[in-house]
Each structure stands twice: as C-alpha cells, then as structure tokens.
A = this chain, B = another copy of it.
Amino acid sequence: MILSDRRKRVTIKDVAQAAGVSTQTVSRVMNKYSYVSGGTRQRVQGAVEQLGYRPSTLARSLSQQRSYTLGVVTFGLKYIGPSRTLNGIADKADELGYMLLTKKLDNFDANGIDEVMESLLARQVDGIIWDVPEVDENRAWSQGIKSLPVPIVFMSMEPKPGYSVVSMDSYLGAQLATQHLLDQGCRNIGHIAGPQDWWEARLRYQGWRDTLVKAGVQVSDKQWQQGNWSSASGAIAIEKLLERYPEMDGVFAANDQMALSVLSEASRRGIKVPDQLAVVGFDGIAESANFYPPLTTISQDPQLLGGQAV
C-alpha cells in the first residue's frame, strides 16, 4: 500500500507498538532474520501492511555504514555514448539492489572535481564510477585520488596499475572499422579524428593508422583531419579532406556525429555512398544503423563494473 499519511512518516516504532513487540523484533522480521515465531511474524507483517511502513534506508545506512548507493560521475550527456553507458550501469545497479547518485561534470578543472567527489563521499556512497573521458588536463589529477575511502572504477581511461578500469576497446574498434573498409575494396581511406588530447581519440587514430600500415597502405598526414566530436567539426573536416585527398574512397570517423556530417556533405555534393565513398562511424548510435554497421558495443561494461563495484 502506498497510502501513508502525508504528515508523518511511519517509523519502526509505530509498527512495533501496533504489533505489541519491540522495535528489534520488527527489524528482525523486516530482514528475514531467523528466530522469530510464526505468530509474531504475522502480527508484525500485519502491522506493516496496515500502517504502510517503509523502512528508512537512510537510517539503515547510517547504522550499517553502507548506503547501497553508487556515485556515478559523467561528463555531460550531450553525447550519446555516455548516456548509453549510464543506461547499462543503471541496469546492473538495479539488479544488485543499488541506487545511483548521479553527478555531472561540466569541465575538467580540479576544483569541480574535488567538489563532486566531496559531495558524493558525504553521502556515503559505497563506490564511485568515474565515467569521464580522459583528457590530458584531468589525467594528472587521478593521481591524487589514491586514498579514497571507497572503491572507484574508471571508465574510458588508460589502464594504470592500481586502478580499476573498464572501457571499451577503442583501438580494436578502430581496427575493425578500418579493416571493414579495406574489405570493401577501399584503398584510400581517410580518418576524421577526435581531439587528440582525448585518450580514446588517440587510440582510434592509431587503430586506423596501424591497420592501414599493416595492410601495406601508405599513410600520410593529408589523409586525416582532426575534429572535436561535433557534427559541425565533422563537416569542416570532411570538406578539407575531400579537397586535399580527392582520391579518397573511404572514411573512418571517430564518432557517429562526425560520420553523419560526412554523409550529409556527401549527399550535398552528389557523392554516392558507399560506392564512391564508404563511410564508417564509431559508437553505434542505433539510428545510424541504416547507413553503416555499428561497430562496438559497450555491453560488457555494466557486467564488469557491477562486479567491480561490489
């Protein structure tokens, strides 16, 4: 029953009184503890239903010193990738009976980071999931985090000894993507990269480059162009690429937003996709499935981090 009176919360005491037992006994019933006689148990359960008693997780957390709550720090949700990850985390957390306290990070300055950590810790989270892409600026910081009172799991960060890191394999994904283009017969494959101070962007770039080299294809700097993940930057990048690398017959974009721009630009110029120009993106936005195959999934993450966090 969801009835409960708006005025005052029903506490364990009320139940105890109603059932004519001590609060401890009620607690035992609630936690399926042994050593409670059938009769008493029933009486208590009756009272619980009757009053619409709902134990306060807060109080429980305080006395047990664990909150059954995980802190999740994300970097905006502007991009679709993170938001899907969050989804996965949510699922797993649910399964394990945890709730998520979400915090959003808007910039990388150390102050903000500290503050976020503070507020999370103050709420006694049992663990923290750090789903913020690693950029040069915030890398240094992660050093100082060593002595946290709770376990922390990093996502999308370069693995470092002593830390738990869960991430999808950007490098492998990029290799697959590039290989895919090669398989389709492309020989002049360009790359629209993400900002090179992002660890993941570098990986994707390298995956692309290495694959080409391994396949015995020449790679020069005119074949790639850096974007900043946004559609707009993708549009600019493809334009430049087409200009200085006209023989290009395939492009690997470091994320789907930029890949979309390529498509749009191509159609504007009347370039046939994929006949004249094959395009592969990265991230696996569902909507883009029509255009190019989604390449990597993060489906493994929730699993892992669930385990880690516990």
Inter-chain CA distance A118–B78, complex, in Å, is 30
Q: 0/1 per residue, A99-121, Cβ < 8 Å to B?
A: 11111100000000010011101
A102 touches B90 (CB 8 A): yes
Q: Knowing A84-B77, A260-B287 are in contact, say whether A56-B149 is a contact too (CB < 8 A).
A: no
Chain B residue contacts of A94, Cβ below 8 A: 103-104
Inter-chain CA distance A3–B4, complex, in Å, is 43
Q: Which 4 A-B pairs have the closest CB atoms?
A: A83-B83, A57-B122, A264-B290, A90-B104
Inter-chain CA distance A62–B56, complex, in Å, is 9
- Interface size range on A against B: 35 or more
A178 at the interface (CB under 8 A from B): no
A260 touches B290 (CB 8 A): yes
A124 at the interface (CB under 8 A from B): yes
Task: Pick from A14-22, A130-138, A140-148 the stretch touching chain B.
Answer: A140-148
Chain B residue contacts of A147, Cβ below 8 A: 2-6
A307 at the interface (CB under 8 A from B): no
Judged by DSSP, the binding face of A is helix
A202 CB to nearest B CB, Å? 23
A296 at the interface (CB under 8 A from B): no
Q: Knowing A57-B123, A78-B87, A101-B99 are in contact, say whether A2-B260 is a contact too (CB < 8 A).
A: no
A235 at the interface (CB under 8 A from B): yes
Which chain B residue lies CB-closest to A124? B58
A291 at the interface (CB under 8 A from B): yes
Which chain B residue lies CB-closest to A97? B119
A54 touches B102 (CB 8 A): no
A residues 51-101 with Cβ under 8 Å of B?
54-59, 61-62, 67, 69, 76-78, 80, 83-84, 86-87, 90-91, 94, 99-101
Contact of A287 among B57, B58, B257, B273 (CB under 8 A): B257
B231 touches A286 (CB 8 A): yes
Chain B residue contacts of A9, Cβ below 8 A: 149
B87 touches A104 (CB 8 A): yes
Chain B residue contacts of A101, Cβ below 8 A: 69, 99-102
Chain B residue contacts of A156, Cβ below 8 A: none
Which chain B residue lies CB-closest to A150? B6
